[in-house]
Structure 1
């Protein structure tokens, strides 16, 4: 006998229509198919599991295998402290952690093995994920318990990320430090791997055995479910991941609900969730506090990603909080297969480096389009509240101490299959209390960022708008309360820009600056220009005819 874990299947169109007014659009997206399981429950204690926090149990894996072989059902991990090596999911199994259950993954690296996989969008060799599955159907990880990934035994730590006391404690506890004495590694093998360019890339003629000498460097993700269908992650806390936390890869029909991901702020590559080349899903009610991107959309990197040709598409992401992270909601930079039909609403970002972050680079290729974002609230953003950046590899949006803050000079290159594209993105109803820059748009001379609409926003930041190499950008009812007011609005080499009903800090030194010989058809309308000390500044090659005022 089967019972559904949800009362009904999630119909994305219906869900979204209740929560957004984005351009009056109700998405016509496919139904997300939710897994169903037999009522039969298998308790891991029947396989000899011992909850003392010391004994390395094989019982959880045995229970998963037995449950699947019997036709599927629920594998129950009851309250207790359970230690285990990596787990492999099986068809038709719901791995359920009861309240008070703590599953501690082993800190012994010999308990994990290297596999061929994909990481950061390319063919790679890594240690197999702590929770792993491939070519599966009807699988779930649910409950109120906690998975701990023992990530501290895998991750390098930069001295600049810690206090002096924390750094001394870390170094005194073992591991090795690099020659510059600015980064700690858990082992000499991990340090060795860090010195090899693209160490984890699987190149022609190589096999898994060729990577054994840097095994410690090839950190596992917390959870990878690849090429699988009907996935549910619900209620569980995933913490202390060695690398990416939740990584659905080339999978479909994905539901992630009320999940918490916790990783140290200094934890390198500890993204909360990376949806890579996936389709049809919903992410809702989650809470993420991590050391890298929060909600991240990917689809492969460069030539390999374009050859795979699988966009991430048809997702609703809503009612989710992101605390520390490099970005709250992020697309890229590995987006070579494209991304489309994404609906983000009712999310809060607090203390992230960037809020809404769209990033790519030459060589990526891919098209990011039909992205609708509504009701986003942000606080204490370190860099940009909203950024579209096709020149991502040239400059980090949050410069390190001593680095120049000036934008790089961008020279045009020929269009080719590696030229990325961002187009048709709508953002509405956004607030941000504190950021370096309110809005930054930086395209390429050969491929501007196109068709961006930002409406009904109040952004408090040091700098207002910086728009470079863009086309058909529309801001309406946007308030830019910038403290560095020279200028509030800066437009470089962009055309068909409409700034409608813009509000700004009274007494601004300069309202608008336009530069670049490709600037064309810029409109500043329904805006009180009298509150600025100086209204307009034009570059040497910019005619007054470029700007329309009314």
Structure 2
């Protein structure tokens, strides 16, 4: 009787949620600058079962792996339906969904993934844009249709036992707990490896890849280093994530890849700020996706768009496209909204609006490097509010991973241009408007490639208060219209090797010294129309002489 009542209440709440969803989603597609179909929610058959009917126990001690598998397979045999997880703490190993199955977490329910690492076999998967082998994701669906995870519960990845610890990033109490739990310390005492297996993989790893691991035996020997992603839906059609709190993943929290027709609504993603690779949501080579009304407080990039890495990503050739991000909040994270660095398959037709970033390292972050290839284009961003940004409010970094290259050339030196080819990444046709930022280290940084400038970037009606002004380096056809940059010190605008740059209605506070600095020998057609900038408070180097026109 109790289970029947639970199922009845679920049906009533689901009906109300669907009506609200249909009402709210209509406005999302209005005035989109690109064509995109309306995404429908997955249609789940009207069959509802409860996990306790298959031997499940929410006592926080009993392992429920078998109960989850039996229940999901039962639904699959009936053509699909909803598996309801009632109130309780449900300990389990990996969960894999089938076609037409919805996992629904009731109020006051928590699914906790087991700390027994042997429950997560090594499987073929996709991570950081490439096919590889890693521990099986904790909650997954592969090549499935109409799958959903909904409700008001929590899914916890128990990530603390999996992750590397860095002394300078962790609270002292947490660091001391790690040491007391065993593991291995680096020679300098700054890194904590949870196990010998993790250390064996980490010491030779190149960007999370162990180069000498070729056989299954090799991968098994570094199993603990190959941390599972918490949620991974790959090559799926029709996906819904709604209402759930996803937290404390061993690695990336939510990874959606090579899938289409996806709705992510009203979720929360959180993990410790020191969590290595603790991305919030990674959207890789997906088409037709809505991400709305969600919040993130994570250890790495919060909302990240990707499409494969280097030659493998270019060969795959599947862009991330037709994506809407609306009304989301990002607290801690390396970036609030991020594109890259794995973008070799291309990124296009992205609309981001009505988002708040508070305390993130970077607000809007575009990153790549030589060797990636790929084209990022048709990105539309508007109505973004930021405060207390650690680094840049807006960043284009085409030297990702090479920190020294973020520093612009000193003393009027020009960077060497390489030959452009299919491995050269391109960022173009990007529209940013109505951004307000109160507090950042730097207002903007464009760090483009000399052989392939960041180009066609239109920034309008933005107000940014920062310690430093905007630096634009190796960019073509950048338009700043009605932009206010208020630095605490130094120039408001620094340009190096820019072409066809237009400044109209630019505002800044009264600056002691130069409001504008222009350097480099590759500048061309810089037009400045601003009551705050004139020849009297601008410095143009000898190499850049003749490139600036004041109107």
TM-score (norm 1): 0.93
What is the CA distance between 1:517 and its match in structure 2? 0.7
Determine whether 1:15 maps to 2:19.
no
Aligned residue number for residue 153 of structure 1:
161
Choose from 18, 28, 31 the match for 1:6. Answer: 18
Is contact 2:516–2:533 with CA below 8 Å preserved after alignment? no
Deviations 1:489-535 (A, max 9, x none): 111011100111111121342111111111110011033337x9x51
Tell whether 2:514 aligns with 1:510: yes
- In 2: Cα distance, 1:98 partner to 1:9 partner: 19
Once structures 1 and 2 are overlaid, which stretch shifts more, 258-267 or 46-55? 46-55
Are residues 1:47 and 2:54 paired?
A: yes
Partner of 2:486: 481
Cα distance change on mapping 1:396 and 1:132 into 2, 3 Å:
farther
Q: Is the 8 A contact 2:409 2:415 kept in 1?
A: no
What's 1:194 paired with? 202
Q: How is 1:34-433 mapped onto 2 (pairs within 5 angstroms)?
A: 34-57=41-64, 58-198=66-206, 201=209, 206-395=214-403, 410-433=415-438
Equivalent positions of 1:495-506 (< 5 A) are 495-506=499-510
* Number of equivalences: 535
The answer to which of 240-249 and 6-15 deviates more is 6-15
Paired residues of 2:428 and 2:454 also in contact (CA < 8 A): yes
Contact conserved, 2:205 with 2:211, CA < 8 A, in 1? no
Mapped partners of 2:135, 2:414: distance in 1: 40
Secondary structure of the 1:368 match is strand
List alignment gaps of at least 5 residues for structure 1.
19-23
CA 288–60 in structure 1, closer or farther in 2 if over 3 Å, else same = same
CA contact (8 A) 1:334 1:364 kept: yes
CA distance in 1 between partners of 2:50 and 2:434 (Å): 47
Q: Show the counterpart of 2:39.
A: 32
What are the Cα deviations for residues 306-346 of structure 1, in whole angstroms up to 9, with x where unaligned?
00000000011000000000000000000000000000000
Give the aligned partner of residue 21 of structure 1. Answer: none
CA RMSD, Structure 1 to Structure 2 (Å): 2.3
Check if 1:529 corresponds to 2:548.
no
C-alpha offsets along residues 75-120 of structure 1, whole Å, 9 cap, x if unaligned? 0000001100010111100000001001110001001101111111
Structure 1 counterpart SS, 2:440: coil
Aligned residue for 2:423, secondary structure, equals coil
- In structure 2, distance between residues paired with 1:436 and 1:205: 41
CA contact (8 A) 1:316 1:342 kept: yes
Q: Whole-Å Cα distance in 2 between the matches of residues 454 and 461 of structure 1? A: 17
1:167: how far off?
2.0
Paired with 1:418 and 1:368, the residues of 2 have a C-alpha distance of: 13
**Cα displacement (A) at 1:166:** 3.2
Where does structure 2 lack aligned partners over 5 or more consecutive residues?
Answer: 1-10
Shift in Å, 1:463: 1.1
8 Å contact from structure 2 (residues 164, 194) kept in 1: yes
Alignment-derived partner of residue 539 in structure 1: 541
Residue 463 of structure 2: aligned partner: 458
* Shift in Å, 1:393: 2.3
What secondary structure is seen at the aligned counterpart in 2 of 1:528?
coil
Q: 1:406 to 1:538 in 2, by over 3 A?
A: closer
Work out whether residues 16 and 27 of structure 1, in 8 Å CA contact, stay in contact via their aligned partners in 2.
Answer: no
Normalised TM-score (structure 2): 0.93
